[in-house]
Chains A and B, each alone.
Chain A
Amino acid sequence: MALLDYLLGQKKKPSAMQARDRLQILLAHERLQAKAPDYLPKLREEILQVIAKYVDIDDENLQISLDEENGFEVLELNLILPESKR
């Protein structure tokens, strides 16, 4: 197969590069997670309860994450509202 790829001039990304790229993304994500305050899951739970009083939403439709941008810590809250029934 390798010979065929070579003859056809197809070049796959070397697997070591894939490893590096995947790790770059993963480690950045995991380092942030490790630094995230302990109250985040509880905060998420309580926000969800408040929203549920007014809108009928799914548990998975609320995402909370802590990111760093330009030296500021940003608490990002992402909520997908259900389509309103007519």
Chain B
Amino acid sequence: MARVIVVTSGKGGVGKTTTSASFSAGLALKGFKVAVIDFDVGLRNLDLIMGCERRVVYDFVNVVQGEASLKQALIKDKKTPNLYILAASQTRDKDALTLEGVGKVIDDLKADGFDYIICDSPAGIEKGAQLALYYADEAVIVTNPEVSSVRDSDRILGILQAKSKRAIDGETPVVEHLILTRYNPSRVAAGEMLAMQDVVELLSVDLLGVVPESEEVLQASNAGIPVILNEDTSASEAYKDIVDRFLGENKPQRFLTVEHKSLFKKLFGK
């Protein structure tokens, strides 16, 4: 049975699209058929992060409005098999998406045999964000260890618990997961940054994983490659762990303490 997963945060710039790209690529690498949808109409970026910006012909809005078929609009990823991208429209306004229209696209994706449908939410708590989370079975909350991000995450959790289809229909609630991004263990150790335990306690959401702050994320987005595919980087390892934990594997949390590079690594390693 297909699962719909929303990647959301309330606040902008915390790593939703980075996470959507790596999470969906990670699930596809495990052999699942995955579609990732950019809900940020007018400010599309998922295509750029995933490196398929020049192959966008039709978008999500075209499909919702019946101007293109789902088959025409789905972009097959070149790097990862089983991964498909549905880009947001860059020119239309947010009202182009309707609840019924989005519901039909999700139903059609399910009928097409997709295992996971990842909804990359826009920032904010307005219509776009609410549409992205409405049909969700599970939610990945992306949070930075920083006061405004934690507050906004709490707000979006409240909206999930009140305005998602599952909440309105009185079904089993949306399963919530937390991904803490831009984590800097040395600043946490110095008492300058909220610790993982504090954020988990404040939001009372199960932690899927911690992604350390790293230069690799920017480098991956520069190149248009989901960072999970950049082997042997900490961000890639972190996202692989996250996918494994999501699929039920019991992996201990990593990247919580400062790693001391050995002299050998300093001299010869990356």
Contact = CB atoms under 8 A, between A and B. Distances in A.
Interface string B136-171: 000000000011001100110010001000000000
Contact of A31 (B154, B193, B194, B195): B154
B202 A16 contact: no
A26 B195 CA distance: 18
Contacts of B190: 14
Interface residues of A, number: 14
Contacts of B146: 19
A53 interface: no
A26 B203 CA distance: 12
B188 interface: yes
A4 interface: no
A44 B62 CA distance: 47
A50 interface: no
A22 B148 CA distance: 11
B221 to A, nearest CB: 28
Contact of B192 (A14, A20, A22, A24): A14
Contact of A16 (B151, B155, B162, B193): B193
Contact of B191 (A17, A23, A24, A26): A17
B36 to A, nearest CB: 30
B247 to A, nearest CB: 30
Given A14-B191, A24-B202, A19 B147 contact: yes
A23 B158 contact: no
A3 interface: no
A20 B194 contact: yes
Interface in A1-52: 14-17, 19-20, 22-24, 26-27, 30-31, 34
B100 interface: no
Contacts of B191: 14-17
B193 A27 contact: no
Contacts of B188: 16
B202 A23 contact: yes
Contacts of A19: 146-147, 194, 198
A21 B55 CA distance: 48
Contacts of A23: 147, 150-151, 202
B154 A20 contact: no
A30 to B, nearest CB: 7
Interface of A: 14-17, 19-20, 22-24, 26-27, 30-31, 34
Given A22-B147, A30-B154, A34-B155, 17 more contacts: A15-B191, A16-B188, A16-B192, A16-B193, A16-B198, A17-B191, A19-B146, A19-B147, A19-B194, A19-B198, A20-B194, A23-B151, A26-B151, A27-B151, A27-B202, A31-B154, A34-B158
10 contacts: A16-B188, A19-B198, A23-B147, A23-B150, A23-B151, A23-B202, A27-B150, A27-B202, A30-B154, A34-B162
Q: Closest 3 CB pairs between A and B?
A: A14-B191, A20-B198, A34-B158
